A and B are shown apart, each in its own frame.
Chain A
Amino acid sequence: MADLKSILSLLILQFIIFALVSASSEEAKEEFNEELLLKPLPDRKVLAHFHFDSRANLSTSNGGYHLHLFPKAIYQLVRYMNYNPCMQAIGNLSSYGDYRRASIFATISSSGRFKSFKARNLRKTIELESFIKMLDQTRLARINVTEFRLQYIANAEKLKIFAQPFHSQFSRVHKFHIREMELSFTQGRWNYERWGSFDPISSSNAKPPGVELWAVFDAPPPKVDALWKNLTHTLSGLFCASVNFLESSTSYSSPEWGFRASSGSLRYGTLPREAVCTENLTPWLKLLPCRDKAGLAELMDRPSIYRGFYHSQRLHLVSSDSASDAVLAIQLEQTLTVVLQPVRQTEAKSFKAISAMQPDWSLSSIFGRKVNKKCVLAKSSNVYLQLDRGLVSQMKNIWVKNMGTNPDDAAFKGAVRNPTFELSDAPDKVIKEVGNVENEESSLLYVFCIEKHAETKPFDLALTWKLPVVWSCSHAPLLANRFLVGSGNERGVIVISLKTINHSQSLVCTDTSEGRCALHINIFQVVPWYVKVYYHTLRIFIDGVIQPATNITTKMRVSPSEDKVSPGMLELALKFPCSMKSAALYLDFDKGFLHINEYPPDANQGFDIPSAVVSFPDFRSSLNFVEDSQPSPLMSRLQERSPTVAYTEVLLVPLTTPDFSMPYNVITITCTIFALYFGSLLNALRRRAGEEERLLKDRANRKLGMLPQILQKLLARLRGKPVDQHQQPSSLPSSTKHKLIFKVTLVALVAIAWHYYFR
């Protein structure tokens, strides 16, 4: 008995342990991290970069459709399979041969493979498997179960009635087949010159103004367009934005290598004029488990973040969902990048000092809020303060000046109070960048764990400058700008200019394979169809001297625009000599005409040409920090060697806008001319000149009424002839007078009747 008891207890214990283990593994499936990176910018602004990372690893074999932490909407976007195990497709064979009044029930199991198909007849039940077999034998239909779509092969006429309800039932069951997707809402333009163009934040979070959406689909190329259209509609509903305008084929393109490497399943579209505001942020925040109720998102005070100089809200989704994989891994990365101007506190400092000093700031002064508590659902919740390489070297100089000694590395790292600035809270960790070029300083990262800092009082990191510092950010080799040349409404020139920022320096050598130093650049440009670019007019100037394009371009892919069908797209791979100081690309274009109903409501404002993307494939910006085994999502994102990317300005092209009442004017004028011509022709045909003359003479012989007499007088005076005086009735006969009065009264009566009738 005792044995039995112990065995039982053991079993129970084992069960408990098993349950615990399984529970813990369950928890590990979905996780959420929140991070905030703060960085003082050289031009007295502060960059705040929120990074929220949700990931889910779901095994699809045992269902796994019920999520705990990961947002449902995004999950359904990635994998929307109708997991209802008893999804029914009902088709009526109402006018189909012998199967009159039969209904078909298709049962699809939760794993997506079909369990059973049965057809129900009113009289007897027949198995659908045999029914399908029969259909297959007659080569009428085949059911593709993974697609839930009925394909009919032949004899479609007969099957129409049968297939239609099937289709309507199943057409909604689809997946978006997204492998990777990025949607960004941006306001303002990233200032590459001042805020840096060669660090991970600028190359992955500086986005073109308006909306940018790109997605890589996991589907065969012919289906991609349909998926893209579905996706745009869903996203526009999800984020309260007019992303659905990207649905039309004139607004998106499919770059192959100019934007990022893909195999024909990438679609890219931008809406430069989309206004971004809170209505886009609220649904974005809803995807976070704590929304803005707790954690770092608490800082997002709408007025202060929209008051900033730059605001970019981004959503990046990666899913490793394939039919063969049993595990579905989704990673959702939500970032919000804002550049804010700290409000300067007027303290008792001399004006000169204030103007030279960087402004002091704290979280509460730039956002107007503090972090009250950690989001308990987040695995980690950190705030980072990043100091640029330039700033660190300046700090070292100041240290040397003040202390007289070269700072000890460790001491420097640990110092909260250093001669340059002072922090309100002591960082939990200071991480130094490694693997940098020797003669440059490495940037520093101060790490603050919210969990520790916000335990007792709200976390409010403050930075107070003690001495004025001037530094500059790290830059990409070239700074890209784009502008329009030319005037008039007929034609113009697009110019993309590339300049080195430090005019004294020559470019960094990246490729010396052919004995010559070369710099590789990719340019990707989408142009709407009404701006008709002549791609053969591409001229490349290097340092003001024209160069044959063939010497510079290594690869080029052009898909010319098709009127009202597709935009023009240019992908260019260029190779510049390192000695170059500046380069410019010229492209001529004609301005097209739009149909009257294709003009937007404010047509006179002009039309936007989306930003061009300039990427430097050999320059990979990454910040390598020495860190413990598991870097946080933001850290791993910073360490990723991503190619440096820069977006140019959006161009505004004024097109000829018609007078929108023009069609009616044209119609009216044309019709009037036609009517005149026709009327006079008809008149000429039926006029009897002789008879009319005779009649006129007759009438002249007769007595004239007063009005015609006056008219005649007038006419005669105009002609300059004296009036025939041979007949001059002094007074009108009374009968004519009466007639006239009668006519006038009749007209007046009619007018009055008309007036009253229509009141």
Chain B
Amino acid sequence: MPETSRMEKPLLGSLAETSGEVEELAAGESKPAPESDSESLDPSKMRKTKPGVKRLALTLSILICFLLGAPFLLKTVEIYRSPLPFKDMDSLSSSIESEPLLFPCQLQAVFLGFDDLTDAQQLGSSIADHMRKVAGDDRVCGSCGSNFNVSVFIESENDCVGSQNDGSSCSWKCGLLKHPYLEAKWKDDDLFDEFLDTVLLDNQKCSGSNGNVYSVVVVNRNEDVRVVVGKHRHGWITGKVSGQEAVVRIAEIFVNVFMNGGKEEGSIHGEFMPVGADGRVVLSFSLLNADPHDWIYDWDFQRVHESLLIPVIEALAPIANVSIESQILFHTPKSFLSHWDEHRRSYIFNTKDLPFFVNSNEWHLDTSIVAGGRSKILHIVVYIPSAKECPLLMQLPNGEISSTNSFISPMWGGVIVWNPSGCSDTSVGVHHSKRTIPFQDLQNIIEIFMGQLRQLFGLKSQSFYFGSSGKVNLLTSRSGFTKWELDVLSRQHACFNLQSCANTLGSLSRLVQSLPRMIIMDEIGKQVEYSLQAARLARSNASLGVYDDSAVSSRQARSLAEDAFFHPSIMSVSYYSFEHCFAVYSPFFLPVGLHVVLAVFKEWKRYKQEKSKYLAWKAMGIAS
């Protein structure tokens, strides 16, 4: 307390004279002056002199010094808290909660060979009405909801009409379907798909749609009705359909396939996306040789990686940062026994055995160094059974044998059982022979893996979709995911990521506000700031309809929010608590503060008392 001591020095100097005065005063008061009038001047009721204010001023000045010093003290013992934009954080979380991300969808329907249809505008609105009916009220995260725009074009032999609703219009250059080779291309879906893609790409001049236009082409022909959805963002309906029927079908394709990804009840929900909080996925492939004494199988994974997996990684790039690694493990038995089926001449395991298939004691499917703290690892296990349980087949609950012989475990990965050819033949057992899985089989395995990966990401793995109005054929892409499926995934991901980012930031804001004495590093502030920035970017991208960019920045927003929330400095418990602060400072400030306050109180009381005495004397003097 240098201030107080410095201040006290002059006061001490004045002490002598003060006390002298007091003594004098007291003497004057104590003994009644013999020469004064004999009026009884009761010292407890009256006094002649004005009461002194020196002591009052002194005690008051000390109290004021204390009060003035208090903010400085609080400032010095303050802990550093980086200012977080609480308002922005809360507003982000509340706005995302109240209105989920809605992406605009640009839809286009082209009617070919419908002579009876002329009013494109009216057709467009009827499609939109049907779509609203199909979609209902449920707002799935990442769908377009009712935020879509339908444009319709009708092309017939001699006419070409287009609906020109609002600003974001598309134009359809008529006559292109009168292509000379068109007849030949009808037969082959893939060929027609590519053809349609080139036609549509050339023709789409949709302003403000960023090229993500979903189209359905309806061709009125004299044949059975066929509905196909291609690898890109379009589908087609051929056959003898009436205009009304076509409208219903188009609406269903738009809503259930293009907007919702052809999902059904029971498929994995979007929230359980197997993507780590930092937006990374590590696909860890393991080849398990259950018993190397029977046979040792090797694989040419390098080739698989280069030829089959790279397109998948590239396709999934906006959604997740995928990396791939592989290993071969030995002595990895499964942890239950299968039973021999004489009829099928093979060993059978049931679906109820599946929880015990993954033997975590013996399968050392390690976490890898590649996967950082919050990355997701998906284990893809190729299991080669030992000779005493080969061939090993999986029986489905309905009694049939699974054609893929594999299963998935959501958020963990998948297991594929691969039986070496001719393993049931006991004479083959050449011991300790090293063999390689044929590339043909590896391709099959990868195909199964693709199906598993699609399921893990919540997509269907069948090549058709049964809607209420009929069957829709879905073409499959080489990379495993078609463009419209990736769009669905991107939308879902962006939405889910933003939700989780908003959740995290909201909890962070609540946590930080509830613990006022927690240290908040600058780094956290920066991460929050960047996260908010990325979230803003994702939302603006989403409103513009740029799905993959939105997914990318939402991923970043989420990862930064998680980084901020799980920052090591927040995790540490030992922050400077208020109790600690109190314990350190109270031994000094409690007694001293009490003294000072009491002194001021007493002095003030006395001053008032003495003043009233003086006033009484004065009044008496005046009266007399």
Q: Do A and B come from one complex?
A: yes
> Which residues of A are interface residues toward B (Cβ below 8 A)?
23, 27, 62-69, 72-73, 76-77, 80, 82-88, 90, 92, 94-95, 101, 103, 120, 122, 161, 164-165, 168, 172, 234, 286, 289-291, 293-294, 373, 376-377, 664, 667-668, 670-672, 674-676, 678-679, 681-686, 688-691, 694, 698
Query: B308-340 vs A: 1/0 string, CB under 8 Å?
Result: 001001100100011111111011000000000
Could you tell me the distance between the alpha carbons of A88 and B596 in the complex, rounded to whole angstroms?
Answer: 67
Are A690 and B30 in contact (CB-based, < 8 A)?
yes
Of the stretches B107-115, B118-126, B177-185, B290-298, the one at the interface is B290-298
| Candidates A76, A82, A377, A675; contact of B587 at CB < 8 Å | A675
Could you tell me the distance between the alpha carbons of A573 and B369 in the complex, rounded to whole angstroms?
Answer: 40
Are A376 and B296 in contact (CB-based, < 8 A)?
yes
Looking at the assembled complex, report how far the CB atom of B591 sits from the nearest CB atom of chain A, in whole angstroms: 4
B590 partner residues in chain A, CB cutoff 8 A: 675
A92 partner residues in chain B, CB cutoff 8 A: 533-534, 537, 553, 556
Are B302 and A65 in contact (CB-based, < 8 A)?
yes
Are A686 and B328 in contact (CB-based, < 8 A)?
no
**A74, closest chain B residue (CB):** B369
Size of the B side of the interface (Cβ < 8 Å), in residues, is 80
Are B537 and A76 in contact (CB-based, < 8 A)?
no
**A289, closest chain B residue (CB):** B330
Within 8 A of A (CB), among B1-50: 1, 4, 8, 11-12, 15, 19, 22-23, 26-27, 29-30, 43-44
Decide yes or no: A682 and B327 within 8 Å by CB, A65-B302, A120-B549 being known contacts: no
Are B302 and A67 in contact (CB-based, < 8 A)?
no
Are B326 and A67 in contact (CB-based, < 8 A)?
yes
Are A294 and B328 in contact (CB-based, < 8 A)?
no
A676 partner residues in chain B, CB cutoff 8 A: 591
| Candidates B298, B369, B587; contact of A68 at CB < 8 Å | B298
> Does B168 count as interface, using CB distance less than 8 angstroms?
no
> Does B83 count as interface, using CB distance less than 8 angstroms?
no
**B602, closest chain A residue (CB):** A686
> Does B85 count as interface, using CB distance less than 8 angstroms?
no
Q: List 8 A-B contacts (CB under 8 A).
A: A80-B370, A84-B322, A86-B317, A122-B549, A165-B534, A664-B584, A672-B587, A682-B59
List of 9 A-B pairs having minimum Cβ-Cβ separation, nearest first = A671-B587, A690-B26, A671-B588, A293-B331, A675-B591, A66-B301, A84-B323, A76-B369, A72-B327
B541 partner residues in chain A, CB cutoff 8 A: 101, 122
Are B302 and A678 in contact (CB-based, < 8 A)?
no
> Does B357 count as interface, using CB distance less than 8 angstroms?
no
Are A675 and B549 in contact (CB-based, < 8 A)?
no
Are B368 and A76 in contact (CB-based, < 8 A)?
yes
A671 partner residues in chain B, CB cutoff 8 A: 585, 587-588
Could you tell me the distance between the alpha carbons of A122 and B26 in the complex, rounded to whole angstroms?
Answer: 92
Looking at the assembled complex, report how far the CB atom of A452 sits from the nearest CB atom of chain B, in whole angstroms: 14
Decide yes or no: A686 and B599 within 8 Å by CB, A63-B305, A64-B302, A376-B432 being known contacts: yes
Looking at the assembled complex, report how far the CB atom of B564 sits from the nearest CB atom of chain A, in whole angstroms: 12
> Does B202 count as interface, using CB distance less than 8 angstroms?
no
**A27, closest chain B residue (CB):** B434
**A669, closest chain B residue (CB):** B587
A27 partner residues in chain B, CB cutoff 8 A: 434
> Does B530 count as interface, using CB distance less than 8 angstroms?
yes
Could you tell me the distance between the alpha carbons of A373 and B292 in the complex, rounded to whole angstroms?
Answer: 11
Decide yes or no: A84 and B313 within 8 Å by CB, A72-B327, A286-B364 being known contacts: yes
**B366, closest chain A residue (CB):** A73
Could you tell me the distance between the alpha carbons of A73 and B432 in the complex, rounded to whole angstroms?
Answer: 26
Could you tell me the distance between the alpha carbons of A87 and B55 in the complex, rounded to whole angstroms?
Answer: 78
Decide yes or no: A377 and B544 within 8 Å by CB, A84-B322, A671-B587 being known contacts: no
Q: Other than A92-B553, A667-B587, give 14 A-B pairs with Cβ distance below 8 A.
A: A27-B434, A85-B310, A90-B556, A92-B537, A94-B537, A122-B210, A294-B292, A377-B292, A671-B588, A675-B595, A678-B1, A685-B15, A686-B59, A688-B19
Are A80 and B369 in contact (CB-based, < 8 A)?
yes
Query: B552-595 vs A: 1/0 string, CB under 8 Å?
Result: 11001001100100000000000000000001110110111001
Are B369 and A234 in contact (CB-based, < 8 A)?
yes
Could you tell me the distance between the alpha carbons of A698 and B43 in the complex, rounded to whole angstroms?
Answer: 11
**A685, closest chain B residue (CB):** B58
Decide yes or no: A286 and B588 within 8 Å by CB, A85-B313, A90-B552 being known contacts: no
Name, among B19, B313, B364, B596, the residue most crowded by chain A CB atoms within 10 Å (CB to CB): B364
> Does B477 count as interface, using CB distance less than 8 angstroms?
no
| Candidates B296, B327, B537; contact of A377 at CB < 8 Å | B296
> Does B436 count as interface, using CB distance less than 8 angstroms?
yes
**B368, closest chain A residue (CB):** A76
Could you tell me the distance between the alpha carbons of A69 and B330 in the complex, rounded to whole angstroms?
Answer: 9
Looking at the assembled complex, report how far the CB atom of B369 sits from the nearest CB atom of chain A, in whole angstroms: 4
Query: B45-81 vs A: 1/0 string, CB under 8 Å?
Result: 0000000000100110010000000000000000000
**A689, closest chain B residue (CB):** B19
| Candidates B327, B436, B563, B602; contact of A67 at CB < 8 Å | B327
Could you tell me the distance between the alpha carbons of A557 and B11 in the complex, rounded to whole angstroms?
Answer: 64
